[in-house]
Every structure is written in C-alpha cells, then in structure tokens.
Amino acid sequence: MFLSWSPPHNPYHQLPARWAEVYDPAHLTLSANTADTEQHRLDLAGYYAHISALDENLGRLLDGLEERGLAENTIVVFTSDHGDMLGAHGVYRKQLPWDESTSVPLLVRCPEGLPQGQICTTPFSTEDTAPTLLSWLRIEPPETMQGRDLTAVIKGHEAAPTSSVLMSIAPFSETRGSAWRAVRTASHTFARDKSGPWLLYDNLADPDQFVNLVDDPAVATIRADLETELQGWLEQIDDPFEGAEYYLKQYGYEVEAGQSAPYTYDPVTELQITSARRRDEL
C-alpha cells in the first residue's frame, strides 16, 4: 500500500479546526538563518500542526496493523520527497541545495533484520528506497532501476557511501533559476550550476549554512575533493549536466514558458494540480 499525503506542505494553514490553534506562533523558536517575522512564525506554526496531524494519522495506521496481526509481516517506510525552506535564507519551498529543502525524514520499521531504535548515518537518497525494499522482499531489482540496494551497508557488512548526489535538472514552477548539481557529505555541502562552483558549506562548523566558502582559498583542497566527488556521481549516473531543454527532450515532457509544468486549479480547494503529461501519452 502506498499513501501519498500532501501535508506538511503549503498552504500551511489548511487544517482541521482542532489543529489550527495547537501551536502558538509567538512561542516558537525560529532557526538562526530565518528572519523573525510574523509571517514566518505563522507559517511555521501551520507547518508544525500539519506534522502533528500527520503523526496522529500514521499512528492510526500502525495501530491498525497491530490490531489485525499484520505488524510482524509488514515493512513500514515513512519519508518525504522534499523539505521546505520556510523562510530560511529568505526563501520558501524546495528545489534548492540547502538542508531545509533536501534533508527529509526516513523512518523504517522492518520486522526482520533491523534492530529497533537504530540510527543509520548512511547517506540515503530517494532512488535508493525501491532497490533496498525489493532486496528485503527477496525480489531482484530490475537492471534499469536507478538507486542502490543499501541493505549490506545498513547491516554494517559494507562500507557506507561517502555522499549523496543532489540535483535540480529542470527548474520549474516557483523555482525557475539555474539548474544545479550538488553533493552532500557528512561534513559538507558543495553545489555548482552551469556557470561554475556556487555553494560550499562546512555543515559541522556551520550547521545553519550561513558562510559560503566556495571562494575561500583556505578550503581550496576541500572544494577540489568535493568537485571530484560530484563528477564521480555524474559519471556514475550518466548525467552530462546539460541545460534543462536536453532533459525535457530526452524524457518527452511538455512545459510552458519559463520551464513550468502546466497547472490547473481545483475550483473547490484552489490547490495546484500538476497536469504535465508526456508527449507519448497525449
């Protein structure tokens, strides 16, 4: 069973009445890289309420598995496709290389082979989920499937990958800047766009990613190592790092001016509904 919830997501205040006042915006602690404004506090309160409502309903599902005797025969995975800047660094939403956008929860309950309460620090990307789960189900992943089976790494039988690759291939919707590629290691984030190196953060010394070190001669060796790591990723996934048009043509997607997927609107909720289609489906 696959459930795809919208929250936590904008619009941040679309909540059942009993959740609307759970978090007092005035008593929240904003991250150091977020300006202390009334709007940021209001949006964060709504975001937290979304999370709490979602947590309650996930609990109902887990209780249902227990009640039906299915818990010991069911793998449960809870994760997300993106984070939300929520005003950090002066921006909102996603498709950006900062941790607020790229770092997402990944909680797994697997009756066989995963000790309860274990925290795994292995870099784990969205595309690694399917091959890893198929392995647990004793199903061979198709050769064409992207991502890695990280079972042996999680169990401590193999060395962990040193990084995850991050990318914005064809910026769309509200984020229409330059395409970029990045690597996130345990200690650093390094990103480049088509014009060259863009961001470099020491995430241990600077967890809020305030200081961009990309042009600092003192970290030139670190930057070179991260550049090598990134180029290795691009070779591994066969990514020539072309402009957006190259990939849109390759995968057959139609977009409107500004590289935005076509949108329609639900007249009841006024939520955006993506209607992008592949040309071969028209």
Per-residue pLDDT of the chain (282 residues; tens, 9 = 90+): 889 888 899 989 988 889 988 999 999 999 999 999 999 999 999 999 999 999 999 999 999 999 999 999 999 999 998 999 999 999 998 889 999 999 998 999 888 767 778 888 888 888 899 999 999 889 998 888 888 898 888 877 888 888 999 998 877 666 667 889 999 999 999 999 989 999 999 999 999 999 999 999 999 999 999 999 999 999 998 999 998 888 888 888 777 665 566 655 554 554 544 444 444 444
Q: What is the Cα–Cα distance from 235 to 141, expressed in whole angstroms?
A: 21
Domain map (residue ranges) of the chain: 1-120, 163-282
E strand or H helix that includes residue 180: strand 180-185
Tokens 């993506």 belong to 274
Q: 163-282 adopts what CATH topology?
A: Arylsulfatase, C-terminal domain (3.30.1120)
Q: Exposure pattern of 264-276 as b/e (b: 16+ CB <10 Å)?
A: eeeeeeeeeeeee
Would you say the C-alpha torsion 222, 227, 233, 236 has a positive or negative sign? negative
Specify whether the CB–CB gap between 169 and 237 falls below 8 A. no
Angle at 243 between CA 239 and CA 245, to 5 degrees: 105
Cα separations in angstroms, 23 against 10, 12, 41, 217: 17, 13, 10, 45
Region class of 138: left (phi > 0), else alpha (psi between -120 and 50), else beta: left
What would the two tokens of residue 4 be?
Answer: 């795809």
